[in-house]
Chains A and B, each alone.
Chain A
Amino acid sequence: VVAARGVSVDAGLLIGFGVVAAVAAILGSMLGLGGGVFLVPILTLFFGVDQKVAIGASAVAVVTNSVVGSSVHVRSGFTNLRLAVLLQVTTAAGATAGALFGVGADPAIVSAVFGAVLLYAAISMLLRGDKRPTAGGVATPAGDPAPTRAPPAVPADRWRLDDSFLDPATGGTVRYAPRRLPLGLGVSVGAGVISGMLGVGGGVVMVPAMNLAMAVPVKAAVGTSAFMVGITSVATAFVFYSQGEIDPTVVVPAVVGVLLGGQFGSRLTRRLRAQRLAALFSAILFYLGLSLLLQAFGVTLPGQR
């Protein structure tokens, strides 16, 4: 029997943490939100784990998941390395600031912010429905080296951010050049702050921002974001480590659970139409978000700690 702050932990509870992390990763993977969005609220609300310990554990799990996932994306050519480095400067700065604020903040404030983010995610998911982000980019059929139409030049070009990747779904090459770089850099700061403060990856903000605002194709946005969230969460994890908030009795099952759940979730996503479950998932997010908001004001719902 070992003990974690705020809760007695036995072997059964360690396995329970692992199962929760796996379920969180499956849900997060199916929704493209990452496991931390579910992991932190479930650990705090239902297991009574200290909020900062849960955020620290989530950050380490996000780093590990990103290391595994992004190596595949980089190898596949989906990751735009120049764009990742450029946006990472402001994202990492935001994450450091967010983590420094979050690790010392009143837990009620962190709960309130987390609750608001979850409610936003729930509502936007419900409103989005079956609409998917635009693919973006110009595709060239397999074996055809030339684009099918002349595209306009973009201001971001002087940063040499234009890139291409082979889309396995079509067999063609997709070429694109990111736009609205200042907007992307600004959004990155916000994503970093949220990531640092809440221990979530930040992909929930970065993928739509890159796709919708910067015209980066979805696969490239996901590949670039997957690489970035690991680096972003390094800042978060080390700030929480510096304050003694990294608890191995929570981190180890979280890392193992998120890795296994993430793999299973990716396979499940290919079989199921996750968008059809959007209403159910957004209801779960809404419930967790509302619970955290109520917790911030001292109200605990039945079954919660």
Chain B
Amino acid sequence: MSPGVAQGGQTVGGAPGDGQNDLAPLARGVTAALTWGFRIGAALLAVGVALAVLRREPLNREAEPFVEVLPAVLEGSAAGVVDLAILWLMTTPVLAVVALLVGFLRLGDRRYAVLSLLVLLVLGISIGLALRR
């Protein structure tokens, strides 16, 4: 093996060094979606758990349906805030895919924009089922 060549290395295509450097702005968008998604979710979870402990309020045995979560939060229910935090955390990767879709569209990469949209549509099946609950 020649110096500098990784073990098992034999696979490079395209112009050397081009890679996916064009995706740097897109990667920043995805990172921002994931980072802020987690921060908001973690903050909601912390608030919900703190409220539950301070008020000695039990958590739900089953996360409430979508339509009942916001009213519960507005009523100041700790369990409602925890349910919202869980749903927010579950949704955060979807935001990252939306960031990918927007990023690919801005780059004019229609093929990967369509693929991102396909991923969202597939995820939409399970989210649609959840909305019908």
Number of interface residues of B (CB under 8 A): 65
Contact A82 B23 (CB under 8 A): yes
Residues of chain B with a CB closer than 8 A to A175's CB: 12, 16-17, 19
- Which residue of chain B has its CB nearest to the CB of A249? B59
A283 on interface, CB distance cutoff 8 Å? no
Query: How many of chain A's residues have a CB under 8 angstroms from any CB in B?
Result: 86
Binary contact track B15-48/A, C-beta < 8 Å → 1, others 0: 0111110010011001100110110010001000
Residue from A2, A70, A172, A241 in contact with B63 in the complex, judged by beta carbons closer than 8 Å: A241
Residue A13, interface by CB 8 Å: no
In the complex, how many angstroms separate the beta carbon of B11 from the nearest chain A beta carbon? 5
Of the candidates B31, B45, B61, B126, the one whose C-beta lies within 8 Å of that of A255 is B45
Instruction: Label chain B's interface by main secondary structure.
Output: helix
A156 to B14, CA, bound (A): 10
A248 at the interface (CB under 8 A from B): yes
Task: Find the residue from A140, A227, A231 having the highest chain B CB count within 10 A.
Answer: A231
Q: Complex: how many Å from CA A147 to CA B5?
A: 8
* Chain A min CB distance to B50 (Å): 12
Partner of B90, one of A92, A152, A241: A241
Per a CB cutoff under 8 Å, which of A81, A173, A255 touches B89? Answer: A255
Complex: how many Å from CA A88 to CA B18?
23
CA distance A156 to B16 in the complex (A): 16
The reply to whether B11 and A148 contact each other, CB–CB distance below 8 Å, is no
Chain A residues with Cβ below 8 Å from B23 are 81-82
Contacts of A206 in B (CB 8 A): none
Q: Give the residues in chain A near B58, CB-CB below 8 Å.
A: 1-2
A28 within 8 A of B: no
Chain B residues closer than 8 Å to A157, beta-carbon distance = 13-14
B17, B31, B59: the one within 8 Å of A2 (CB): B59
In whole Å, how far is A282's beta carbon from the nearest beta carbon of chain B? 24
B8 to nearest A CB, angstroms? 3
Cβ contact of B11, chosen from A75, A79, A154, A227, cutoff 8 A: A154
Question: In the bound complex, do residue B4 and residue A172 qualify as a contact, i.e. CB atoms below 8 Å apart?
Answer: yes
The 8 Å CB contact of A248, one of B79, B97, B100, is: B79
Q: Contacts A81-B100, A144-B4, A231-B119 given; indicate if A63 touches B11 (C-beta within 8 A).
A: no
Given known A3-B61, A82-B23, A85-B116, contact A145–B16 (CB-CB < 8 A): yes
- Interface flag for A74 (CB, 8 Å): yes
Q: Are A162 and B12 in contact (CB under 8 A)?
A: yes
Tell yes or no: A128 within 8 A of B by CB.
no
A117 within 8 A of B: no
Please state if B38 and A145 are interface contacts (CB–CB under 8 Å).
Answer: no
15 other A-B residue contacts (CB within 8 Å) besides A64-B38, A64-B89: A4-B61, A5-B62, A71-B30, A75-B31, A79-B27, A85-B116, A85-B119, A152-B11, A153-B13, A156-B13, A159-B111, A163-B19, A244-B62, A248-B60, A251-B86
List residues of A whose CB falls within 8 A of some B CB.
1-5, 60, 63-64, 66-68, 70-71, 74-75, 77, 79-82, 85-86, 88-89, 92-93, 96, 99, 134-141, 144-149, 151-154, 156-157, 159-160, 162-164, 172-179, 215, 217, 227, 230-231, 233-239, 241-249, 251-252, 255-256
B interface list, Cβ under 8 A from A: 2-14, 16-20, 23, 26-27, 30-31, 34-35, 37-38, 41, 45, 49, 58-63, 79, 82-83, 86-87, 89-94, 96-97, 100, 111-112, 115-116, 118-119, 122-123, 125-127, 129-130, 132-133
Q: 8 smallest A-B Cβ distances: which pairs?
A: A134-B8, A151-B12, A177-B13, A164-B19, A238-B126, A157-B13, A71-B34, A2-B58
